[in-house]
Structure 1
C-alpha cells in the first residue's frame, strides 16, 4: 500500500511520537472496570489496531509513549471535582499503581525503549503531566493519538496537543468510546476540525520503509536498499 504524501510528511519517524491513551488492563482488558468500553475497544478492532501501530512504530524507530491514568492506594491527589471522578472511586476495579489493572493491556507489546507516563489526576494525558516536556525533548512535531476513550481522554489529548503546537494525527479506527455511534460523530464534527484524521493502515504504510515520490505526486516504497 503506497503512503499518502501529506501524511508521510506529517508522521516522519524522526519527529513523530505514537501516544497510546489509557490502554491499560483495568480499562480495556478482560477484567476492565468499564466493561462496555472494553467491549467497544475490542469489538471495533481499535485495541488490536493500537497494537498494530505500536508494533509498526517499534519496527520503524518511531518513539512510543503510553499515557496511563492511575491512582495511589490511598487515592491521595486524585481529582474529585467531577461526576466521572467520583464514580471511578466506586468502581470494582481500581487503577492502582503497581497492580495488574494499571498495566498496559494485551495485545499491545511494550518495548524497553517506550516511555510510560502515569497521571494521578485530571482528564488529559497532556495537561499537568510529563508528556509535553518529554515530547519537546524528543524533538517531536507530530503526535499520533490512539486509545480510549473517545468520550473524554482522546479529545482532551487532541485539543491539548494542538494547543501546545503539535500536529495531531488520529487513526479513527484506533480509538474507541461508548456508545459506538458516538465515535464517528466526534471524529467528523470535532476532531477533524483540528487533527489529521486517517486510518491505521495509512499510518502503517508510512512507517513500512523508505519512501520515494512517484510521478503522480504520491509516494511508493523504495526497493532494493536505503
Structure 2
C-alpha cells in the first residue's frame, strides 16, 4: 500500500514610541468595547497538511510522507516539576508513512503531539508514538521530532518551497554511530533543521509568539 497523497534609536524616541503604541492599543480596545465588539483574539500557532518528500542523500524508489495536525495549547499539560505546564504545550496528531520499494510494503506510525514552537514560516513539533504497523520500527512510547518549513507554496503563482526534517534521519545516524555511543532521547520540541524537500502536497505553518509565563 502506498501512502495517501495529500491534498511548519534613542532612549527618548523609544519611550515616545512605547507610549504611542500603548495609547494606540488602548484606543483600539476602547473602540471595540464601545461598539459592542470584543477585541480580536490572536490566532494560536499550528502546523497542518500532508506531503511527500525526498531525502537529498538517498537515491531510492521509496515514498515517504508526513501528515501534521498540530495546534498550540499553552499551559495545558501540567507536569510534576511544572504544574502550570509550558508555553510550548500542544495537542493534535502526527502520522508517518514510508513505502519501502525493496520490500513492497508501507510502514505507518501515528503519535500524539506534545510540543509545538513556531517562527514565521517554520515550526518544530514533537509527538509520542502510540501506534506502529506490523513490521515497523520499535517506536511505540518514544518521542519523535519533526521540523517544517512552509515555503508559501499555497499562494497563487508561487512554487512550493516546503521542507521537512525529522529526528531519526532514516538511518543516517546509525552510519555515524560509534561503538559505545548512547542514543540520546528526543526532548520536547527537539528536531533538526528541515532538510528534505517536499515533492507533493504541502504544509501550512501558522506562527504565533509564545505567551508569557503565568504570574502569581
Point out the structure with the larger helix share: 1
TM-score by length of 1: 0.22
Q: Which has the larger radius of gyration?
A: 2
Greater relative CO, 1 or 2 (CA 8 Å, sep 6+): 1
